Amino acid sequence: MSSTPTVVLVHGAFADAGSWAPVTRALLDQGFRVVVPPVLNRSLTGDAAYVRSVVESIDGPVLLAGHSYGGAVITVAGAAENVVGLVFVAGYALAEGESLGELQGGFPDSDLAAHLVYTPYPVDGAEPGTDVSVDVAAFPAVFAAGVPDDVATVLAVSQRPLSAVAFGEAAPVAAWRTKPSWGIVSAADHTINPDVERFGYERAGVRESVELDAPHLVMLTHPTEVADLIARAAAQTA
């Protein structure tokens, strides 16, 4: 069995697995085994349970990387025994018992807060849920700044919403307490206040925090830097 971990890339809200495409390509070219599962964006614990099931189906060590809401997901899913490290990419590093709303609430709102759209969706046998998405007109500037306009407009109309319940759901565990972690701060982020990222990483005691003059979708605008940090983390956990 190889000691080099499989890299599992976890996307965030308002995006899908394709948001990792340039980083996925770079890691594959470096010889890594990479898995990029879909995240349903229905609930923090449910999404984390699904990602954990993917992780636990992999033979050997796993390095988890999570972008944005995906950072919260890997915070919980990273408790799986075969996870050897966590990489937060412009992501939320929650504490045990803390929700996204609570972490964000300690800092001034980003530009995203004024451009969220709330839409009901059906739930079998229960009251309708609420999907949260980004206003399509504001999406390129707020969520996809730095991405070419023709790409940003496609991402805007194909975004994957996040259920509102995920914002208030407390993380049952914080895997960074027992697993080494790394982080990337997107200093030009208009979706997450960069201070939220900095605070979470400092609290988690990340081994290395890389600050880039980058927007929220740093995997698309700075894929080399993101892939390089993931490769360094993999080397340190091998």
Q: What is the pLDDT of residue 7?
A: 98
CA 160 centroid distance within chain? 13
**According to the model, what pLDDT value does residue 1 have?**
54
Cα 90 to Cα 123: distance, rounded to the nearest angstrom: 31
Angle between helices 69-77 and 44-56 (to 10 degrees): 60
- State residue 37's pLDDT score: 98
Strands (E), the chain: 6-10, 34-35, 62-67, 83-89, 116-123, 126-134, 162-163, 181-186, 208-212
Domain coordinates in residue numbering, the chain? 6-105+167-237, 111-157
- The Cα 156–Cα 138 span in angstroms is 9
Closest CA to 40 of 32, 50, 30, 25: 50
- The pLDDT value recorded for residue 53 is 98
Task: Answer whether CATH 3.40.50.1820 is correct for domain 6-105+167-237.
Answer: yes
Q: Which residue has the tokens 């500037």?
A: 141
What pLDDT sits at residue 2?
Answer: 73
Backbone angles phi, psi at 152, to 5 degrees: -60, -40
Mean pLDDT of successive 10-residue stretches along the chain, which has 238 residues: 90 97 98 97 98 98 98 98 98 98 96 97 93 98 96 96 97 98 98 98 98 98 98 96
**3-state DSSP helix/strand/coil % of the chain, to nearest 5:** 40, 20, 40
**How far is 84 from 78, CA to CA, in rounded Å?**
8
How would you class 149 by CB atoms within 10 Å of its CB: exposed for 0-12, middle for 13-18, buried for 19 or more?
exposed
Is this prediction's pTM over 0.85?
yes
- CA separation, residue 17 to residues 13, 40, 149, 227 (Å): 11, 11, 20, 15
Q: List C-alpha distances in Å: 71 to 3, 182, 183.
A: 24, 11, 10
